[in-house]
């Protein structure tokens, strides 16, 4: 005698959405926006056309329609299954949430961590190598490849550089039209790569170029973008946790983009440590034969004027020693004290926003949330209280030395060395001591 076989569970049909003729008021495609699987197209009259084979029967369009113009129907085959299920004692398969299943399928198509390698006239931006450092950590956690995106004209050597900083693969788009950065051309190239290779995460520098490109690309591919991240990590569901200051820097917010891919972030220069360099490292170059007709690009680059290396300008973001002054400096003339100390150390003078707002120092010297992020070997804060908006711009310096006459000033919380005293006595004393030490040595 044979054993009774377990009865197979049968799936209950969910139906397919359709438009009820004459009901649509062309409300602005709410049904299309609600559809999680993009199976609704709008016709010229602003009415929906449902692509029936793609519909998963979630009823979102039906629920959102303000004119009750959508309903669900069952095919003849589905109606037969429903009739059979109604009369049979066979178990019905538990419903899995089709929307969640469709989302998870869509997200799983995206793999890999990408870093956009920013370059101007072939010269790479240091922030790109910093991003490869944090990108590597993310790629290891996700168990995926770390890839560089190199766009330009004659920029293949940058792929090799990217391998030295940890990239395993480089997507190279190399053509004369990409010689100089122009939003239209670079957006086309980036979107082409994204649509072809589907990355999970894309990181760009929060520089003029990176901010412009990231925003335009995110808009085009329809995903989220978190600007000026100060921390990046991966959660248990493989989502990118993007941390950045919010509400004027008073809180740190962690932002997720859990329904769209790729997840895009920008990070300011000097926020992440440089990736370790390995000259021996090798990787794969994927050359994309992609270009954009020059006549399609409205912007023409006439001349590149570099403002950071010009005469008289000071690059505080790249300095190894920074002596910053705040409102405690009492006036612009007193910054000469800081300049003397900076000259002895081979450093530069920075400032808090209060000092900049008071007109004591130019805006390009401002350190902090709305100024520059710095990561020098030594940061000396003179007469700066240590507001959170200032700290986010300098707290990752190797050594912070704070000089303040208020022993409870918050700056001391991030300082390796704190001097409670009057800066007008302390700063000249330090300068004098350094001079004497130098003289003894020579
Ligand atoms: C949206 C937003 C963005 C901001 N962005 C920035 C930013 O990018 N960078 C930034 O710096 N700020 C920024 N701020 C401003 C920030 O909140 C603080 O107001 C500012 O940093 C305070 O500057 P300060 O420390 O120089 O001045 P104060 O807070 O007034 O501190 C002066 C300090 O000097 C000390 N002092 C006075 N005299 C002496 C003396 N003789 N010797 C020793 N110590 C002395 C005092 O004890 C005091 O601690 C931002 C604020 C907002 C709302
Ligand atoms: S039922 Fe769901 S999947 Fe089908 S068209 Fe409507 S929103 Fe899209
Ligand atoms: S939501 Fe309803 S009214 Fe609006 S476009 Fe869709 S079918 Fe028409």
Domain 316-441: CATH superfamily, name plus number: TPP-binding domain (3.40.50.1220)
Tens of pLDDT, residues 73-96? 999 998 988 888 888 776 666 556
CB 365 within 8 A of CB 392: no
Q: Which ligand is nearest to the CA of 102?
A: 2
Tens of pLDDT, residues 214-227? 999 999 999 999 99
What is the average per-residue pLDDT within 357-380?
A: 93
What CATH architecture does domain 16-106 belong to?
A: 2-Layer Sandwich (3.30)
Instruction: Find the 59 Cα to ligand 2 centroid distance in Å.
Output: 5
Q: Which ligand is nearest to the CA of 409?
A: 1
Q: What percent of the chain has pLDDT over 70?
A: 93
- Pocket around ligand 1: residues whose beta carbon is below 6 Å from it? 248-249, 326-328, 352-355, 366-371, 383-385, 387, 389-390, 393, 403-406, 409, 422-424
Phi, psi (degrees; rounded to nearest 5) at 253: -105, 140
Token readout for 103 is 């989302």
Q: Which ligand is nearest to the CA of 17?
A: 2
Q: Would you say residue 68 has pLDDT above 80?
A: yes
Nearest CA to ligand 1 atom 39: 328
Tens of pLDDT, residues 152-190? 999 999 999 999 999 999 999 999 999 999 999 999 999
Please report the beta strands in 23-145, taking only residues with DSSP state E, as ranges in sequence order: 40-42, 48-50, 70-73, 113-117, 119-120, 123-124
Q: Is 30 in the pocket of ligand 3 (CB under 6 A)?
A: yes
Domain residue ranges in the chain = 16-106, 110-296, 316-441
Nearest CA to ligand 1 atom 23: 354
Q: Is 29 in the pocket of ligand 3 (CB under 6 A)?
A: yes
Q: Which atom of ligand 3 is nearest to the CA of 24?
A: 8
When pLDDT is cut at 50, 70 and 90, the band that residue 247 belongs to is low
- Using CB atoms within 10 A of its CB, is residue 199 exposed (0-12), middle (13-18) or buried (19+)? buried
Pocket test for ligand 1, best of 379, 381, 404 (most atoms within 8 A of CB): 404
Domain 110-296 has CATH 3.40.50.620: yes
Q: Do domains 16-106 and 110-296 have the same CATH topology?
A: no
- At residue 310, the pLDDT reads 46
Distance between CA atoms of residues 168 and 151, nearest Å:
17
Instruction: Find the 127 Cα to ligand 1 centroid distance in Å.
Output: 27
- Burial state string for 301-334 with b = 16 or more CB within 10 A and e = fewer than 16: eeeeeeeeeeeeeeebbebebbbbbbbbbeeeeb
Q: Please state, as a whole number, how many other Cβ atoms lie within 10 Å of the Cβ of residue 215.
A: 17
Its pTM stands at: 0.63
Place of tokens 């004290």: 337
Place of tokens 């170029």: 209
Q: Which atom of ligand 3 is nearest to the CA of 32?
A: 6
């Amino acid at each position: 005698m044979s054993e009774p076989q377990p009865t197979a569970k049968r799936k209950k049909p969910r139906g397919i959405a359709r438009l009820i003729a004459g009901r649509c008021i062309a409300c602005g495609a709410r049904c299309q926006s609600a559809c999680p699987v993009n199976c609704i197209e709008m016709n010229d009259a602003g009415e929906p056309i449902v692509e029936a084979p793609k519909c998963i029967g979630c009823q979102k369009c039906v629920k959102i329609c303000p004119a009750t113009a959508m309903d669900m129907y069952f095919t003849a085959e589905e109606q037969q299954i429903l009739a059979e299920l109604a009369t049979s004692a066979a178990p019905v398969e538990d419903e899995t949430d089709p929307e969640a299943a469709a989302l998870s399928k869509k997200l799983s198509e995206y793999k890999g961590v990408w870093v956009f390698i920013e370059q101007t006239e072939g010269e790479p931006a240091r922030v790109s190598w910093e991003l490869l450092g944090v990108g590597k950590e993310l790629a290891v956690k996700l168990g995926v490849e770390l890839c560089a995106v190199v766009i330009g004209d004659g920029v293949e050597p940058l792929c090799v550089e990217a391998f030295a900083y940890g990239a395993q693969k480089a997507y190279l788009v190399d053509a004369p039209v990409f010689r100089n950065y122009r939003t239209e051309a670079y957006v086309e190239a980036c979107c082409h790569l994204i649509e072809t290779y589907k990355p999970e995460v894309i990181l760009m520098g929060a520089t003029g170029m990176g901010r412009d490109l990231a925003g335009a690309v995110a808009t085009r591919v329809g995903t989220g973008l978190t600007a000026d991240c100060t921390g990046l990590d991966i959660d248990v569901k493989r989502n990118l946790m993007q941390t950045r200051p919010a509400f004027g820097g008073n809180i740190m917010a962690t932002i997720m983009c859990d329904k769209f891919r790729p997840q895009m972030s920008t990070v300011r220069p000097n926020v992440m440590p440089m990736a370790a360099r390995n000259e021996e490292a090798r990787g794969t170059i994927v050359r994309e034969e992609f270009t954009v007709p020059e006549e399609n690009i409205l912007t023409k680059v006439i001349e590149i004027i570099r403002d950071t290396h010009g005469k008289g300008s000071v690059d505080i973001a790249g300095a190894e020693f920074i002596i910053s002054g705040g409102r405690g400096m009492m006036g612009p003339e007193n910054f000469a004290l800081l300049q003397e100390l900076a000259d002895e150390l081979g450093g530069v003078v920075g400032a808090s926003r209060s000092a900049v707002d008071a007109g004591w120092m130019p805006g390009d010297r401002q350190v902090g949330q709305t100024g520059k992020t710095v990561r020098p070997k030594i940061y000396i804060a003179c007469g700066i209280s240590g507001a959170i908006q200032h700290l986010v711009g300098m707290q990752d310096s190797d050594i912070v030395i704070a000089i303040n006459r208020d022993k409870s000033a918050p700056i001391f919380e991030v300082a390796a060395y704190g001097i409670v005293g009057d800066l007008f006595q302390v700063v000249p004393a330090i300068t004098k001591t350094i001079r004497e030490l130098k003289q003894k040595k020579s």
